[in-house]
Homo-oligomer: A and B are copies of this chain.
Amino acid sequence: MILTVTLNTALDITYRVPALRPHASHRVTEVIERPGGKGLNVARVLAALDHEVTVTGFTGGATGRVLQEHLTGVRGVVDALVPVTGATRRTIAVMDERTGDSTQLNEPGPTITPAEWAAFQEAYEDLVPAMSAVALCGSLPPGVPVGAYAGLIRTARAAGVPVLLDTSGEPLRRGVAARPDIVKPNADELAELTGSHEPLRATQDARRRGAHAVVASLGPDGLLAVTPEGRWRATPPARVHGNPTGAGDSAVAGLLSGLTTHLPWPDRLSRAVALSAATVVSPVAGEFDRGVYEELVGRVTVSQEVSAA
């Protein structure tokens, strides 16, 4: 059983409109709703790969209830969300059919009280020992201390459970110092953390800050991994076109899937890169195309980087 943590859960709503024009009235032609927040996306991909997953984080209000109803429909996912008084936020992506672009409207979401944060930590401590891995994903809601992930990482490591961190900014900086097993920053997050825009240098620097392994996601260039077992670049066989939403979450799912099934690093990276690419080409944002995944996973190029530093 894998645990994914999503402190900033959301109900993701996609509206399709013929053309978005400010100050006009629009008839929405299609409405798609699904559980959102990075950890829930990771869980959905893991469940599709036949892993058992428990999800935790916060849920509240009518939107939280709807989110939980959607989760009930996902086979292989156990709902261990912690109730809060505030209402779970909605995010609305307005897809313009004419341009293919989307406009995003994100509700602020609830402020977590100290008592709610304490209740979450208690629930998390109870869940962690039974898990084969933990993923801590996404931003922190208002009210949760900026060092939250550092504490959750220490809890997992004390229980001997491997922990992956995928966040940004100060929560990432503090989290890395608590020595997570894996961090998966993208190029921007890595540059913000290290001050370097050179991927290999920045990835090595991130590792020196405390993470045991750093897997940087470099968009169409694939993944760059610096680990205790070596360094690798993993790249898809061809450039893929589509919607990158959720590609990073699919990479996280691939890394966790490979970790918990004890694959060597190159195979974990192949899985992560193939899932990412299969997510980009999927017509539904955040879903992956299983056929594309199965076709690509054997064709990812993984090359070892020889140490120069």
Contacts and interface: CB of A to CB of B under 8 A. Distances in A.
Contacts of A170: none
Contacts of A65: 62
Interface in A271-286: none
A257 to B, nearest CB: 30
Given A22-B22, A65-B62, A27 B106 contact: yes
A17 B105 contact: yes
A82 B22 CA distance: 35
B29 A104 contact: no
A66 interface: yes
Given A27-B108, A28-B108, A29-B108, 13 more contacts: A15-B107, A22-B22, A23-B96, A23-B99, A24-B103, A25-B103, A26-B104, A26-B106, A28-B105, A31-B107, A62-B66, A62-B69, A92-B92
A26 to B, nearest CB: 5
B104 A24 contact: yes
A20 interface: yes
Given A28-B108, A92-B92, A22 B66 contact: no
Contacts of A111: none
Contacts of A22: 20, 22, 96, 101, 103
A102 interface: yes
A106 B23 contact: no
A99 B25 CA distance: 16
Which of A20, A62, A69: most chain B Cβ within 10 A? A62
Q: How large is the interface on A (under 10, 10 to 19, 20 to 34, 35 or more residues)?
A: 20 to 34
Contacts of A25: 103-104, 106
A107 B28 contact: yes
Contacts of A24: 103-104
A183 B29 CA distance: 31
A220 to B, nearest CB: 21
A139 to B, nearest CB: 12
A94 interface: yes
Interface string A80-113: 0000000000001010100101111111100000
Interface in A98-139: 99, 101-108
A17 to B, nearest CB: 7
A26 B103 contact: yes
Contacts of A28: 105-108
Interface string A1-20: 00000000000000101001
A23 B105 contact: no
Nearest to A101: B23
A102 B15 contact: no
